[in-house]
Amino acid sequence: MSRLIELAEKFYRDEYTDSVLYSRLAKAEKDERIKAEFQRLAQIESDHASFWYEFLKRRGIKPEKPKIGRFHFTSVFVLRRVLGAGAVASLLEMGERDAVKKYYRFLTEYSSEMSEDEREKLKSVILDELEHEKFFREEEKTFHTENIRDLVLGMNDGLVEILGAVTGLSAVYPNRPELVGISGLIVGVAGSLSMGIGAFISVRSQRQVNEALREKMEVLFRVSPERAREEIMERLIEGGLPKEIAEKTAEELAQKGDAVISLLIGENNENEVRSALYTGLSYLLGVAFPVTPYFLASSSLTALPFSILLAGTVLGLVGTMVALLSGISIRKKALEMVSTGLGAAFLSYLFGRLMEAVFHVSAL
């Protein structure tokens, strides 16, 4: 019972906090459509908080009014100002997705400890959260949020890879910081171009594959509706539907034409040029942090701790951003990114010392 109460108290705090967040976002939002949606969501989340409040009261617990932490709210509003509505949509959509998973797990694990009325109300709460997720997913498409992820992850790649490079080179050229800095920049520019081109090719290739599949399905529907029906049935059976159900479903779907094609193939509206620019330029931005100290210090070993400190700080900030965009623990993600980045730098330094010892190149 204690675990059930603990979870219910957490859900109450989360729903109450979300209702206040949506209410404040509504007050600050200029777009009337989104403003109205935030107001509606604030009311729904308030109703959810009331459900958990009553859930706890029935079990002899009277929860205190939650204290609203400033950090989360401030982070959301900063994201809204700096990165636009897309970042907020991504953050909130991820949060709703996380809530759906937690509520479903709670429903399956503690179903026997809940009344029939509570089970039905919780199912209704889950449906509300799914509807919220759908709304924010649509907003993500509008604001091209996938490019915000390109920016964050591209910067992370640039930071980790170039920090490792300059750390390793510091062991080889301890008295040539400018050489380490220039080498880091060269590797960084090459990496930026590689990442940008890779993103361009990846998005473009996916678009071409989808277009080819769409053309194939369109030909099938026009030339041989029967073969199209068989194709749909095969996809449904591969998805786990029993054959008899797949046959009936395919028969009905085969009459829908373009709607079925979109369902089977999906849409890919990501722009390859924009994706390449976000990825490449953010990678280059990440390069600047570990490289800069080498152009200011008198020796590589003097520049190294400043490079690590600067890169580690930015990695922590990037980790916080990733956590906010993914709805996961900020502390865990920031610690993970800092530890892996600095761990890679340490191993690179050891490898640099090994190369220096084997080839005696430090004097070059």
Note if the pTM is more than 0.75: no
Q: Is the pLDDT of residue 143 over 60?
A: no
Who has greater pLDDT, 339 or 1?
A: 339
Task: Look at residue 136 in the predicted model and tell me its pLDDT.
Answer: 59
Q: Is the pLDDT of residue 70 over 80?
A: no
Who has greater pLDDT, 218 or 58?
A: 58
Q: Give me the residue label for tokens 């330029």.
A: 281
- Report pLDDT digits (tens) over 13-36: 888 888 888 888 788 778 787 788
Percent of the chain with pLDDT over 70: 79
Q: Are 103 and 129 spatial neighbours (Cβ–Cβ below 8 Å)?
A: yes
Average pLDDT on 101-122 reads 90
Who has greater pLDDT, 114 or 265?
A: 114
Burial of residue 52 (number of CB atoms within 10 Å: 0-12, 13-18, 19+): buried
Average pLDDT on 328-339 reads 78
Q: What Å distances lie between residue 20 and 17, 54, 97, CA to CA?
A: 5, 19, 19
Average pLDDT on 161-166 reads 89
Query: Residue 79 — very low, low, confident or very high, per pLDDT cuts 50/70/90?
Result: low
Percent of the chain with pLDDT over 90: 24
Helices 300-326, 70-82: inter-axial angle, 10-degree rounding: 100
Average pLDDT on 49-78 reads 82
Query: Residue 148 — very low, low, confident or very high, per pLDDT cuts 50/70/90?
Result: low
Domain ranges of the chain: 3-143, 146-200+272-359, 209-265
Average pLDDT on 277-282 reads 90
Q: Is the pLDDT of residue 292 over 90?
A: yes
Dihedral sign for Cα atoms in the order 305, 307, 309, 311: negative
Who has greater pLDDT, 48 or 229?
A: 48
Find the radius of gyration of the CA atoms of the chain.
26
Task: Look at residue 217 in the predicted model and tell me its pLDDT.
Answer: 72
Average pLDDT on 250-260 reads 65
Query: Residue 302 — very low, low, confident or very high, per pLDDT cuts 50/70/90?
Result: very high
Q: What rounded mean pLDDT belongs to the chain?
A: 80
Q: Are 290 and 221 spatial neighbours (Cβ–Cβ below 8 Å)?
A: no
Query: Residue 40 — very low, low, confident or very high, per pLDDT cuts 50/70/90?
Result: confident
- Nearest Cα residue to 54 out of 18, 102, 15: 15
Q: Are 303 and 175 spatial neighbours (Cβ–Cβ below 8 Å)?
A: no
DSSP letter for 299, please. Answer: S
Residues in the chain: 364
Out of 3.90.850.10, 1.10.10.1100, 3.30.470.20, 1.20.1260.10, the CATH code matching 3-143 is: 1.20.1260.10
- Nearest Cα residue to 321 out of 151, 164, 139, 96: 151
